[in-house]
Structure 1
Amino acid sequence: MKEADRMIVIIDTREQRPWTFGGALRVERATLPAGDYSIAGFETSVAIERKTLDDYVQSLILQRERFKRECERLRSYELKAIVVEADAGDVFAHAYRSKAAPNAVIATGLAFLQDYGVATIWAGNREHAEHMAETMLRRFHRKQNEGN
């Protein structure tokens, strides 16, 4: 049995525009304790948060306390990441609706990495973000099953 046949990606029920992974992965909807995507059986050790650029900026700046609490929950997770459907150049070009300064957005994202170990992955666009998330989930699952 191939890895993709065994691995089930869990998509949080609150995720409004979920990635489909091109139909290459089995997916199920369920309420996750943190993040938007995880792997069945690893819901409390794998969390990937999908963000558009506007959503990312809003989370860091306007909803900072709530987002800090979410990142605090993620601290103990083995795999945790925020995958943004934009690139850092979009931040510096101020290609988002908030009045927050680009340097403040970048600095806050880096602070979340240092304080909670939650990395921001600048994927460039939605398609690339989906591919990066799939790659991370597959690698995690493969490593868990090595030698089994």
Structure 2
Amino acid sequence: MAYWLFKTEPDAFGIQDLKERPGQTEPWDGVRNYQARNFLRDEVKLGDNVFIYHSSCKQVGIAGVAEVSREAYPDPSQFNPESRYYDPKATPDAPRWFCVDVTFKEAFAKTLLLKDIKATPQVTELGVVKKGHRLSIMPVTKTEWDILYAAASG
């Protein structure tokens, strides 16, 4: 099993939205960065744990946990001209973008704030603590997962 951090803007889609979905499952779609796409397509696997990280909001940080419940498949939004994620260069035979499905596991009582994550000396490799790192999907080491999970759920 691997560990991930998926960024989202909670006014568009947050941990509470996932919790309230039928079956508490939702496609994690709309990723339009090649490195993040490659993580989704090539490395994110069924059963992996995911921190849901809220950004561009007042309480920036880790808000909860989801689990990958379906591995990568072509993101349908790339084929829909009505979608803001439409990509005219993508075709069903040659998709450019992928998504995974995630299922709600847990919402933390309080968001583990970015300032607290940055203040944790054992957390040095996580992308959100590095200057200029803007990926929406990033790996989390097992050690960092354990430390951050304990801090968020404690």
TM-score by structure 1 length? 0.25
More strand by share: 2
Higher relative contact order (CA 8 A, sep 6+): 2
TM-score by structure 2 length? 0.24
More helix by share: 1
